[in-house]
Chains A and B, each alone.
Chain A
């Protein structure tokens, strides 16, 4: 009996604690559900308390206490249990009103009966009481089990625990009632009853007051289900990015619903432009922004729980999404914050017992943060796309400007050319009046040309396609050249240009020679334009300590119309003219000075205008950085190829391997770099390796590799930038670049100028094919490979020859077999295109001769013939020619492809033998 008593003590203690906890919760919040929980556990605690007081009092000095009314009180308290449970069920899901009434009536009637009837109660009353208790708790267990099944996630687990609690409570009662009737097994039944009671208590505790660790554990499966694929999946390949964003949000909503058991979860976003709200996935469903509960959440910083949700509290679009379903009773609204600002609300709608909301609020908050993360990525991507689109638009504009400029220049060439011819009297004498008029034509065409040039520059400056070739320049020299160029024009207006020499030797300035000339010319032209007849202009250069270190200041001073104080800064604006009337007086589109400013800025310099006032002359100053040695060395754009460049292709180095084409592998992952190196070296290439973008650019310039494989994710400078830089620089623009990356954005790569785009994992076969294809290109570029075209038909010879030479091959031709053999001897071609039917020595004989000599045995030959081949012919050709193409089926691209392929195969073979085969010197 001691063990039983121990279990009973623990059980009773558990129920006492549950009761105290429940009453404490109810006192704190006054919510109906909590009050109901408090009633339930208060009643249970009351019964066990009464029982324990009686039992424990027996150990006291006064002997066993016999509390008056204790039996009746216990009975009433126990009778409260089924009703309290039913009320709890009702809190979470509606219970038919008749059930509530029936339960209450039974409670009152039975309580009254047990109070009125003398103790000990009659057997019938005990039976009815017990039956009511068992039916009531069992019903509650069934109701909670049903609720658990209708929901999900942690709520489901908590409901299930409560259902178990109810079921075990019923079992406790059944076992306790049955125990006395079982005689010998009474002990077992009582023990089971107590155990059931204990577990029931624990279940209630877990269901209604789960500790933190338990909540976490219960929440975990759904969260993991969401998180795992999200973190591992990245963007599914082949999915458009926007679609994958939509998928991510959809998954998030589904996961939120699964974890909380909500019926519907919506992401409602704010439209900053239209100042309203819309449903994710249904942008057309607009909502009023700042009224209603959603607006309240947006404006506040915390989540909001709405109970007894009414349609009028919600935007119509949300209500409409439920269709004919009834609106769930509870809404959990959590703000989605992006960069400290609420941009939306994650709204979960559920049938919820208030007891269970706190858990869910935490879950929804977690998902709201996830939603913010997805939105942030999406925004970032959009901004990148936007930038790309803008760049593309600028590039197109630049291209358009180039075309327009070309189309304008062509007739302008005729206009200025003809007027020059006339003025030079090359078409005979002009009278004075005619000459004046032609001078007018010529000057007009020059003005037009200047304008076109300015527009082209503006367009390039805007598109950012104007590249500077920076070099260290002597300021005095640059100045002198500009002044000399404009002296004639100035003197025709009676204006003098004076160069003021600096007392000391000036340090070199870091600038693009041509552009610096342009700046100074523009400033001087401007000065000439606004200086009246007989005025004077001087220009000077001096060292200045600027905000960013030492700089050279170029000053252009004139005695012209000057500037009003308000014009000093505005004069650099595009289309700005000092006064509208000046447009007529002085002409020009107002582009010159704005170009000067932009060019100066592009150099890392600045401009300044100053004037003592109207008609007091003005001074325009250009500040450019001084060329420090280190700066000159670290120039981003190579000015002239370094001497090493000249030495390398000349083949001065004695290294045997240097005959092999060099591939520059740009890859930051050492492992992948090794894989690439292994593949490439196996295919007969030399390999150099660059770890990051900067190194890649440097090596590309200095090594001039045959091809580059380029990774996209690189430290310091990413692959896109490297590709862009390579293609912009003339010294490296021709080097084919094969992107080998895990980033799958083929279109972007090809647009930037990549030759081929391979997605990792690396496919050796693919890589080999791609590089073999480039081999042909290489031959085109270095011009060392020649093709001998042998055909007796001069027309076909010409066609083939010009096609191949257009492809970049050096082409020699021969009209018959004998000439062909002589040409092979002399030219040592890399490949041969051979006709079969020729006078005197025919193609078969040529092949036979070639194959019987050691030096020409390996010469790749493509037979192009119109002959109907017999089986015997085919047999002979199969042994001696690499490929036979029928003239009827000849396609230019095939021929090109064949020759490239043959050449690379041939090189790979010759490489194995180390004898170079037919490689031309």
Chain B
């Protein structure tokens, strides 16, 4: 079962994609979503409230998704938070690079809402 107050953190700089990701989390999965517009905001948000998982764009201004992932995964306090990279980088290498940086899963943009919903549910149920 997915706890109702679970928080999914969205790290995404594109406003449209923010809305879409937020809709998937809130309307399809039915849990809380918080949106962070860049890497630093993601870190700040994690510091404020520990999310159950993070949907993370990889190409962001300032601190990018790779850096954020490495940072979070290197800190024992945050290493346990699942990170799903949601990226428009489409090459197999990109996927590998994301996983190497510590992402738990890689979802390529554009995605089917159903697919992403399933991925999110998988992680939320896993931790509960």
A residues bordering B, Cβ < 8 Å?
A: 402, 405-407, 409-418, 420-421, 424, 426-427, 445, 449, 452-453, 456, 460, 467, 514, 730, 734, 783, 802, 805-806, 808, 810-811
Contact B70 A808, beta carbon cutoff 8 Å: yes
Closest to B26 in A: A426
B residues bordering A, Cβ < 8 Å?
A: 14, 16-17, 19-20, 23, 27-28, 59, 67, 70-71, 74, 88-93, 96, 100, 108-113
Closest to A512 in B: B92
Q: A449-B110, A783-B74, A808-B70 are in contact. Are A414 and B100 (CB under 8 A)?
A: no
| Other-chain contact of A417, B71, B108, B113 (Cβ < 8 Å) | B113
Contact A426 B74, beta carbon cutoff 8 Å: no
A sample of 18 inter-chain contacts (CB < 8 A) reads A405-B90, A409-B109, A410-B14, A410-B17, A413-B17, A416-B110, A417-B16, A417-B17, A417-B23, A417-B111, A417-B113, A418-B20, A421-B20, A421-B23, A424-B28, A730-B96, A805-B70, A806-B67
Closest to B111 in A: A413
Contact B67 A420, beta carbon cutoff 8 Å: no
**For the complex, what is the distance from the CA of A424 to the CA of B17, rounded to whole Å?**
17
Distance in angstroms from B53 CB to nearest chain A CB is 19
Residues of A within 8 A of B100 (CB): 730, 734
Residues of A within 8 A of B113 (CB): 417, 420-421, 424
Distance in angstroms from A599 CB to nearest chain B CB is 14
**For the complex, what is the distance from the CA of A444 to the CA of B59, rounded to whole Å?**
26
Q: A802-B71, A810-B74 are in contact. Are A410 and B88 (CB under 8 A)?
A: yes
| Other-chain contact of B110, A413, A424, A426, A734 (Cβ < 8 Å) | A413
**For the complex, what is the distance from the CA of A811 to the CA of B110, rounded to whole Å?**
36
**For the complex, what is the distance from the CA of A406 to the CA of B108, rounded to whole Å?**
10
**For the complex, what is the distance from the CA of A407 to the CA of B112, rounded to whole Å?**
18
**For the complex, what is the distance from the CA of A805 to the CA of B76, rounded to whole Å?**
13
**For the complex, what is the distance from the CA of A467 to the CA of B111, rounded to whole Å?**
24
Contact B110 A453, beta carbon cutoff 8 Å: no
Q: A409-B90, A421-B23 are in contact. List 20 more A-B contacts (CB 8 A).
A: A402-B91, A405-B90, A406-B88, A406-B90, A407-B88, A411-B16, A413-B88, A415-B110, A417-B17, A417-B20, A417-B113, A420-B112, A424-B113, A427-B23, A449-B110, A453-B90, A730-B100, A734-B100, A806-B71, A811-B74
Distance in angstroms from A420 CB to nearest chain B CB is 4
Residues of A within 8 A of B96 (CB): 730
Q: A409-B109, A416-B110, A426-B23 are in contact. Are A402 and B74 (CB under 8 A)?
A: no
Residues of B within 8 A of A421 (CB): 20, 23, 27, 113
| Other-chain contact of A418, B16, B28, B88, B90 (Cβ < 8 Å) | B16
Contact B110 A409, beta carbon cutoff 8 Å: yes
Distance in angstroms from A154 CB to nearest chain B CB is 65
Residues of A within 8 A of B70 (CB): 805-806, 808
Q: A414-B17, A418-B16 are in contact. Are A409 and B88 (CB under 8 A)?
A: yes
Distance in angstroms from A451 CB to nearest chain B CB is 13
Closest to A416 in B: B110
Distance in angstroms from B60 CB to nearest chain A CB is 12
Contact B110 A412, beta carbon cutoff 8 Å: yes
**For the complex, what is the distance from the CA of A670 to the CA of B118, rounded to whole Å?**
58
Distance in angstroms from A111 CB to nearest chain B CB is 100
Contact A426 B28, beta carbon cutoff 8 Å: yes
Residues of A within 8 A of B23 (CB): 417, 421, 426-427
Q: A420-B113, A810-B74 are in contact. Are A414 and B16 (CB under 8 A)?
A: yes
Distance in angstroms from B128 CB to nearest chain A CB is 24
Residues of A within 8 A of B91 (CB): 402, 456, 460
